[in-house]
Chains A and B, each alone.
Chain A
């Protein structure tokens, strides 16, 4: 191979298909005579159901079936708890269709199946549900008081989980502190808002007994396992396909949503394909959300600014149910000390039930909240000690020679210890200082102020545990006819460009063009060992598995080619789709090598004709395949990481606040980040930039609003403000590449990185900009014009 593809800005294989409008998103897949689903959803945040009358809906023309909890057989259950943990007792999960009680506005109560969605919605409106509403408390801090109304009678003060983790000796360290800074910060609820809402379609083949489910999930293998278990089907007779999926951002990793079970059930019962295409309002009221946390943090420091202990106690809103366990809060609590040495940590959280849409991971998964807490606290400490914000960080950042830096006692979401494995934190900070020209900012700020403009510098550092296990696999095969390379893994893609980065990894080993590597994932019939796409883990875990498999295939290909070319294996190399004797023009195409490794070959094609010229491949002594020998050039291998590998970065911005309009304009935004070796910098930058845009949404615009009765006030794109191009500034992205010492490719994850620090950057910059006006502190995101107005009003 001439040039290494790993590290190159290769254009994406998937793009032409998507650009021509030839993608296959779930509702694009033609299913003959498909029936369509609409749900009846609870209009109350908490209510007792007295009765449900479906008679008018059943009689409505075009309706095929109406389901309630009374006629869904094995689905009248509480759905599985995905990640059990000792900090929870009697963890509550949702039923596909409500029985007796409803726990949030939007909860599914009945399902209508009809000839089209229009008719299904008409009939859903005819289902008559008699509710007896109960009192609710939406405010997180009030929900934990003794007299607060309960979401679940089983859980006093609405506490779903309570967990404390300790690293080092916080008590003795606190006793030695010379300064303490205390801060309360809050991040509000948001939602992933993928451009394609969730969707499920199912078809049951009576002849083969096979159930096929197209599901816009991030975790098809797990969905298959659950479907087979709940419906008592042979696992092999259930095929789950996640085709093109229009964004996920964590929302689509939860299983099961009610529709993921009910739609396959209806398809099996009715004998026709059934599909549920979630609409935007349903995505707001029915699909998982995240973010609300309130942190009370204390930093214990020496006069020098060196932080020797951290105490943090936080409330985490888990919504009406806790199907994903404590993952979000656990990630927040183990990321709480950020990139800083802080050797002594006491961190506690309470996960609280509120009668709202359930909370499960959304891109960032607790990290943005933890980053917001520690970074705002660091800024405050700097302010109190009269130190510069860069300086306070310099004095606490872990130094290069201190890696791996273990936080003994903190257990990450993968159940393994927190060990920050590598990085150049100080260099990243220095780069940021330079890119923002921080030393001359004070003068620039003063000059702007003289002109009536209010500029601020925002700064925040983040770390991200990525590449969580337990494992993924990779299957690699060289096709005997075309010589193209087929790669399979157990993941799914929602736009991350797996088909290109995994192609680069395989192509480097096998000497083919990346466009000649064809990735098939997201289909349990293609590969069904593995976990899912989440936690910034695809490149690390599947990437390394595919790398290992490709190396095995390379070895096999070299050996087979050496036999064919009658050369020493050490003299053979793979490049340009062929095996060559190094330094000569003697070669044999990979297709012919793959063909020659198959003892049966009819001369259907050129590869077979080419292969037949190489007689040594056909033996005349004994069986064609020796014991243990396999036909073809293929291999499957797996990668299981020892623990998460920690990426990091620092974001900074120059921000202007207009005190009259209370508007915020980002004049410059710089991101320095390090995700280890980059497979494809173009794709990395795309991931980072997209994350930053999502972060800016959360920092300034996006907040799910509930009224006091628990009704969502902005369940649409008119009122919930996802940023357009007019809201997102240009961003400067700079890379550092500190290879991960934990895996052969030296890679770390990057999918979530961009969004983590943004809230803290914006708050830090707005606060700085308004300091001269006595604008006070900004410790609550999103920062809205109303909040700025209130802060200036109070000045």
Chain B
């Protein structure tokens, strides 16, 4: 579009009914007015600017959009923003220290070369984190770790290094004897 031409009149918003949502994201309370059908993934990414959560399939199979909601891994692409109202959400952006120091799980991914393009990684990490932080005992056998990862697709790595990263992180995060 050239300068000197009258700008076209373009719409600014849709006709969607809107709803107020109030939730806690990464420890901070947020309130927004959003379309009733806005997905939680879009809400996090485009309303809040937390673009670390990725969208890979929009039908709940690939796990790239996984976040932690009230302590459990959840698919943000299968959740409406309004469904998250009143909930407590953690995304990948909450893991590293403010100075950028990686969380032990993130560090394990780097140490083990557990990522290539990095697109599936945030969802993968949030899913694993929900297991590592849960009170339930984790099965760190080969089959056990694969089962933990069974909701996340990765097209780059062939998973072997991710499995190594899970074990390494579990090792680093486990309370040392006598510290409990």
Contacts and interface: CB of A to CB of B under 8 A. Distances in A.
A494 B117 contact: yes
A11 B142 contact: no
Contact of B119 (A25, A685, A694, A730): A25
Contact of A689 (B16, B119, B160): B160
Interface SS of chain A: helix, strand, loop or mixed? loop
Given A21-B122, A115-B12, A725-B159, A718 B59 contact: yes
B10 A270 contact: yes
A195 B154 contact: yes
Interface of B: 1-3, 7-8, 10-16, 35, 37-38, 45, 49-59, 61-62, 64, 91-93, 95-96, 100, 102, 106, 109-111, 113, 115-122, 125, 142, 145-147, 149-163
B161 A689 contact: yes
Interface stretch (A43-51, A59-67, A454-462, A620-628): A59-67
A500 to B, nearest CB: 10
A11 B159 CA distance: 18
10 contacts: A23-B118, A27-B55, A64-B8, A196-B117, A247-B116, A247-B156, A270-B8, A689-B160, A725-B149, A728-B159
Contact of A118 (B11, B35, B109, B117): B35
A473 to B, nearest CB: 24
A717 B62 contact: yes
B119 A247 contact: yes
Interface of A: 11-12, 14-16, 18-23, 25, 27-28, 30, 33, 35, 61-64, 114-116, 118-119, 192-197, 204, 206-207, 244-247, 249, 268-272, 279-280, 494-497, 682-683, 685-686, 689-694, 716-718, 722, 724-726, 728, 730-731, 754
The 9 closest A-B pairs by CB, nearest first: A21-B52, A246-B119, A495-B117, A18-B118, A495-B116, A693-B158, A21-B92, A28-B51, A717-B61
Given A64-B11, A195-B120, A686-B157, A716 B61 contact: yes
A271 B14 contact: no
A730 B163 CA distance: 10
A726 B7 CA distance: 55
Given A280-B56, A724-B153, A15 B117 contact: no
A280 B153 CA distance: 13
Given A12-B113, A28-B51, A690-B158, A119 B14 contact: yes
B109 A19 contact: yes
B100 A20 contact: yes
A16 B118 contact: no
Contacts of B121: 18-19
A116 B119 CA distance: 23
Contact of A15 (B56, B109, B149, B150): B109
Contact of A246 (B11, B57, B111, B117): B117
B113 A724 contact: no
B152 A724 contact: yes
A731 B11 contact: no
Contact of B58 (A272, A279, A728): A279
A702 B156 CA distance: 16
